[in-house]
Amino acid sequence: MLQHIPKRLDKVSEASNSEWSRIISAAVVNQQFRKQLLLSPCAAVSKGYCGELFNLTDAQKDKIASLAGSSMEEFALQLAQI
């Protein structure tokens, strides 16, 4: 039987997924941001992209800081598992 997830948690997950998508989108379209994201993910997301900041909690930034991918594919795969 499926467990019911409260709507509040759904909104939190939805917001997180939206920010993850924004980060990956910025990396896809901008080589500089992509390089920074792979070298220092926490610094890249803290700095933002083109004047836009990413809306992440400290816990989410800590999770991103722990990611280590040598390619965008590896990074995106790890990010999807958060």
> pLDDT tens, 42-56?
999 999 999 999 999
pLDDT tens for the 82 residues of the chain, in order: 455 545 444 444 555 788 999 999 999 999 999 999 999 999 999 999 999 999 999 999 999 999 888 899 999 899 888 7
Both tokens of 35, joined, read 């390089």
Distance CA 20, CA 79 (A): 7
Q: Write down the pLDDT at residue 8.
A: 47
Cβ-contact 26, 49 below 8 angstroms? yes
Residue extents of the structural domains in the chain: 29-82
Q: Indicate whether this model's pTM tops 0.85.
A: no
